[in-house]
Amino acid sequence: MNVTHQIANYIQTAEYDGFPEVVIEKAKLCLLDWIGVTLAGAREPISDVMFDLASVVGGGEQATIVGRGTKTNVLLASLINGTNAHALDFDDVHIESPGHPSAPIIPATLSLAESRHFSGRNFITSFIVGVQVFFSVGAANLPFHYDEGWHNTGTVGHVAAAAASAKLLGLTDSHLVNALGIGTTQAAGIKNVFGTMCKPFHAGKAAMDGLLAALLAEKGFTSSEDAIGGHGGFLDVYSSKSHPEALEKALNDSFCIEDVRFKRYPSCFATHPAIDCMLSLRNQYEINSENIAEILCIAYPRCLEIAAIPEPGTGLEGKFSVQYCLALALHEGKLLLESFNDAKVKEPSLTSVMKKVKFASEQSYQQTRTSEVIIKFRDGKSIQEKVSLSELLSDPEREKADVTQKFRDITYALMPKKSADRILESVNSLEEIDNMADLVALCRF
């Protein structure tokens, strides 16, 4: 069985009743987190651009633009909701395989579920399937695909969104294989554009194109027999070295959704260990920034590759600047959504600290996503802290409480508390919802 057919076989046979309770609960948590960050993203400038586009080229009122309450066609709704979900870089991630799964998968399946009145169980099943495909395809290209400049959220997200949408539509056999092929041939997204509006656009485009792939396949649109694993296919073209055996293992040996993690800060995930180091030091010591001679950040290589913009000129670039995040953590003791704006990244009190940050790369920290911060003072004294991202996020008991509080922190500032709590209650009982349109109707300011 070729690679694409292996994936199609998994998609076709996966059923809600075959998922453990912990997996179903994690899917609900992913949706809750996604709704929160998407509602917040709907207030960003990029959302205004996308919303204006929809008003010009939009078609029938099929699916809701989350946060706005306005409806447009399912493809544009997927594009806009996916872009908004990733606009703040506050959405969920996976530690081992780089990428944000919910941002491209949920917009496609949610628009489809709303427009065709699918149930909460249908939605949960398709989402879990999409996440499994996302990380299985990603595993086959580790680490080369990402290291060579591709953005997994955009590239692999196309395949995953197609898979999830096809599952929701109930596609089988050749129609399912075609959906995967149509999604795969549209795959795109490069890391060169990180720090610009194009990064969240990758998630939106993956959602839109993945849904388009499934809808076309449903109508009989064709593709190749193995667009993912064949000669000239995704694994062949998008990486200098691939491991199809890793894809098969990831697809069948465990539930990938269990390894999804949720952000505590609205910045690139790679900045989080360093932020926690600085917050810990701030809580332990009284630190006067004027007495600091140097802040040395010893980080894992990928952190320095994607999140070390030395002088961010915009709030968006600040999300990819360990320097800025460390300055915020030191000066304010917290990182909020409003901390990342174009004016704040240029505040003298923060830029003076940023200039003191020096970096060292440590390969041994890569696996555990560890960062170490050493503050050296003018009098020769120093303090230091080390944090492993893998250890930091390995407490499942705190996860639901953290995500719930994050959702409340975001939504209570955007809508009446009663309205936010209704969304929370609906997501917590998602498997009992007969029509996903009822939930989506709540997701507006």
Which residue type does 217 have?
A
Residues 81 and 187 in one domain: yes
The answer to whether 440 and 66 are in contact (CB under 8 A) is: yes
Cα–Cα distance measured from residue 310 to residue 307, given in angstroms and rounded to the nearest whole number = 9
Helix (H/G/I), strand (E/B), else coil: 207: helix
For residue 106, count other CB atoms closer than 10 A to its CB: 34
Cα–Cα distance measured from residue 137 to residue 118, given in angstroms and rounded to the nearest whole number = 27
In a domain, 44, yes or no: yes
Structure tokens at 34: 């996604």
- Residue 249's Cβ-count burial label (10 Å; 0-12, 13-18, 19+) is middle
In a domain, 252, yes or no: yes
Instruction: Tell how far CA 437 is from the center of its chain.
Output: 23
Residues 245 and 223 in one domain: yes
Residues 365 and 426 in one domain: no
Residues 406 and 300 in one domain: no
In a domain, 445, yes or no: no
Q: Dihedral (C-alpha) 246, 248, 254, 256: value to the nearest 10 degrees?
A: 70
Residues 86 and 172 in one domain: yes
In a domain, 380, yes or no: yes
Cα–Cα distance measured from residue 395 to residue 131, given in angstroms and rounded to the nearest whole number = 21
Q: 136: domain CATH number?
A: 1.10.4100.10
pLDDT of residue 390: 73
Its domain, for residue 294, covers 269-392
**Full DSSP string of 117-155:** T--HHHHHHHHHHHHHHHHHHHHHTTTHHHHTTB-HHHH
Residues 177 and 250 in one domain: yes
Cα–Cα distance measured from residue 267 to residue 36, given in angstroms and rounded to the nearest whole number = 15
pLDDT of residue 207: 98
In the chain, which residues have pLDDT < 50? none
In a domain, 296, yes or no: yes
pLDDT of residue 195: 80
Residues 277 and 411 in one domain: no
Residues 242 and 303 in one domain: no
Residues 217 and 335 in one domain: no
Structure tokens at 325: 């995040």
Q: 386: domain CATH number?
A: 3.30.1330.120
Cα–Cα distance measured from residue 247 to residue 252, given in angstroms and rounded to the nearest whole number = 9
Q: What pTM was computed for the model?
A: 0.89
**Full DSSP string of 31-87:** HHHHHHHHHHHTTSHHHHHHHHHHHHH--S--EE-TBT--EE-HHHHHHHHHHHHHH
The answer to whether 97 and 261 are in contact (CB under 8 A) is: no
Residues 211 and 277 in one domain: no
Structure tokens at 252: 């069948």
The backbone torsions φ and ψ at residue 64, rounded to the nearest 5 degrees and listed phi first, read -90, 140
Residues 20 and 148 in one domain: yes
Pairing of strands 357-361, 292-299: parallel
Structure tokens at 260: 């999804």
In a domain, 103, yes or no: yes
**Total structural domains within the chain:** 2
The answer to whether 167 and 263 are in contact (CB under 8 A) is: no
The backbone torsions φ and ψ at residue 405, rounded to the nearest 5 degrees and listed phi first, read -65, -40
Cα–Cα distance measured from residue 262 to residue 286, given in angstroms and rounded to the nearest whole number = 30
In a domain, 307, yes or no: yes
Which residue type does 380 have?
G
Cα–Cα distance measured from residue 125 to residue 79, given in angstroms and rounded to the nearest whole number = 22
In a domain, 403, yes or no: yes
Cα–Cα distance measured from residue 111 to residue 168, given in angstroms and rounded to the nearest whole number = 11
pLDDT of residue 253: 87
DSSP E strand stretches across 231-379 = 260-261, 292-299, 357-361, 370-377
Closest CA to 287 of 386, 380, 348, 376: 376
Tell me how many helices (H) and strands (E) the chain has: 21, 8
The answer to whether 77 and 107 are in contact (CB under 8 A) is: yes
Residues 45 and 182 in one domain: yes
